[in-house]
Amino acid sequence: MSVTIYPTGTTIYAPEKAWNGFTILSTMDGNARLICMNGGEVKTWNGFGGFPNKVLPGGFLLGSTGVRNKKYGFQDQLDLVQVDWEGNVVWKFDRHEHIVDPGEEPRWMARQHHDYQREGNPVGYYVPGMEPKVDGGTTIILCHRNVNNPSISSKQLLDDVIIEVNWKGEKVWEWQCSDHFDELGFSKSAKRALAKHTNMLNIGEGFGDWMHLNSTSKLGPNRWYDAGDERFNPENLIWSSRQSNILAIIDKKTGNIAWKTGPDYNTKTHRKIGQIIGPHLAHMIPRGLPGEGNILVFDNGGWAGYGAPTPGSRSGVNNAIRDFSRVLEFDPVTLEIVWQYTAKEAGFRTPIYGSKFYSSIVSAAQRLPNGNTLITEGVEGRIFEVTNKHEIVWEYVNPHFGELSNLVYRAYRLPYEWVPQAGKPAETPINRLNVVDFKLTASTTTTHESREAPGKIKGTSDGQFCVLPAGED
C-alpha cells in the first residue's frame, strides 16, 4: 500500500487538560485494541470486528465476531459476544435469525450491525453512576432483516430492526423500521426516488439498504421528561439514519416516532441546525455529563438522502452532498446549536478549508465528564479530544492499516478503574509539533526515548509506549 507519510500513534497529549483513561478502538484489521493516553497498546483482543467494541467494568469486552459471507449479506455480524480479560466467552447472542446461504453451513446469526447497548447505561460510554451490567440485564441490539414492502418499493429491502434480548438471549421487544414508513416524513419526490432505487446493493439477489441506521440508545433520565414532555421518556430510544438523514426517537411503548429531525431540513425550524447529511451516533447526552439533555451527533457530510434529482444526483438518491463534517450539540426542543466542532473551530477560517475536518462515513463523538468531547474522525483513522473552547488536548492516529486504510469505526474513552487488570499507567505529556519546522532527514532515526518517563516500558511495534506501575506487565 502506498500512503502519504505522517505521524501515527499519540501525537498530542496535555494530561492536565484531558480526561485521562483508556481508549477502546474499533479498527479495520479485525482486532479490538485498548490503548493508553500515550498510545501504547494495553490489551488486544483478536478477531473482534468492532461494530463497535466496548469495554465494560471489570475489563470485559463486548463486541462482534465473524461476518456473514459478503455474497449474501451486508455488514451482518454473526455473533455479539462478551469476553473476559483472558478472552473467555461469558455471554453470546446469535439467535436473531436462522440463515441458510448457498454453499454455507446453516446457522443462527445475530445479524447485528453498528450498535448495541447493555442495560444500566443508556449510551454505551462512561457516565458517572450509570454502569452497564456485566452479568445480567437486557441488551438493545441493532440488527438486519430482509423484507418486502410494496408500499415502499417493489424491490427487496435490507431493513433495520431493533431488538431487546434478556441475558438468556430471548427477545423481549422488537421494532422494525419499515413498519413506520409513513411516519418518517418523506416528500413525494423522495418517495419516488426511494421506490425506484432504494439505495440498491448488488449482493445476493439484490436489496436496498434504504435507511442504514447506525446507532440506537436509550435516552435515560433527562430534564425534558422531568418537565412533562413525554417524547423524551427515559425508556424511549433514539437512532440515526445515514441514508435518509433522519434522527428519530421511538416511543418504546407504542413503537411510534415520537420526535425527529429531517429528512427535510429546508424549514424555518430546521434552518437553525442546517442540513444534516449521513449522521452517525446520535444520542442524548446522559444526566451527569456536561450538556445533559442535548443531542450530540457526528454530522458526516458526504452523500445521502432522497428527493428530486440534482446535478449531483440524477436519480434523486444521495441528492444531499457536502464535503465537510460537523460535530453538533443541539437543543432537541428548539433545534438550536449549543456547541459545535467544524473546520472553522479547528482554526481554518475560510470556507475553502472545510474539508480539513471531514469523514464521509463512520465516526462518532462522546461527551466526557470534564466537558471535553472525544471525536472519532473515522476515515482518517484519527481520534482526538477537544475542550469546550475547541483546543485539542489529545490526538491519536491509528497506526494499524487493514486492507483499505487505517479507518476507525468508533472509539470510546473509559476510566482506568474499569480495567483493574492493567493498572493506571503514567501520563507523559507530548507537545504539539511545529509542522513548519519539523523535517525528516536521511539521518533521522526512529526513537521515542525522549518521550519516555522513568519506570517500566511496555513497548509496541508502532513505537508508542505505556509506562506501567511497578510490577505491572
CA angle 461, 372, 457 (to 5 degrees): 25
Asked whether residue 229 is domain-assigned, the answer is yes
* The pLDDT of residue 451: 41
Query: What are the tens digits of pLDDT across the range 125-165?
Result: 999 999 999 999 999 999 999 999 999 999 999 999 999 99
- Whether the per-residue pLDDT at 363 is higher than 90: the answer is yes
* The pLDDT of residue 472: 44
Mind spelling out the 3-state secondary structure of 330-378? ECCCCCCEEEEECCCCCCCCCHHHHHHCCCCCCCEEEECCCCCEEEEEH
- Whether the per-residue pLDDT at 452 is higher than 70: the answer is no
Asked whether residue 452 is domain-assigned, the answer is no
* The pLDDT of residue 454: 34
**Range 423-445 average pLDDT:** 87
Across the chain, how many H-helices and E-strands are there? 2, 33
CA angle 159, 303, 209 (to 5 degrees): 15
- Whether the per-residue pLDDT at 340 is higher than 50: the answer is yes
Query: What are the tens digits of pLDDT across the range 206-229?
Result: 899 999 999 999 999 999 999 999
Q: If you search the block for the grid coordinates 438468556, which residue do you land on?
A: 168
- Domain containing 325 equals 68-357
Asked whether residue 253 is domain-assigned, the answer is yes
- Whether the per-residue pLDDT at 471 is higher than 50: the answer is no
Q: What dihedral do alpha carbons 350, 351, 356, 360 form, nearest 10°?
A: 170
Asked whether residue 41 is domain-assigned, the answer is no
Instruction: Using a pLDDT cut of 70, give the percent of the chain over it.
Output: 93
* The pLDDT of residue 443: 67
Q: What whole-number distance in Å separates Cα of residue 393 and Cα of residue 213?
A: 31
* Average pLDDT along the chain: 93
* The pLDDT of residue 220: 98
Asked whether residue 78 is domain-assigned, the answer is yes
Q: What whole-number distance in Å separates Cα of residue 244 and Cα of residue 363?
A: 17
- Per the CB < 8 A criterion, the answer to whether 280 and 240 are in contact is yes
Asked whether residue 219 is domain-assigned, the answer is yes
Query: What is the domain count for the chain?
Result: 1
Asked whether residue 370 is domain-assigned, the answer is no
Query: What are the tens digits of pLDDT across the range 79-97?
Result: 999 999 999 999 999 999 9
Q: Binning pLDDT at 50, 70 and 90, where does residue 442 land? A: confident
Kind of pairing, strands 54-56 and 60-67?
Answer: antiparallel
Asked whether residue 427 is domain-assigned, the answer is no
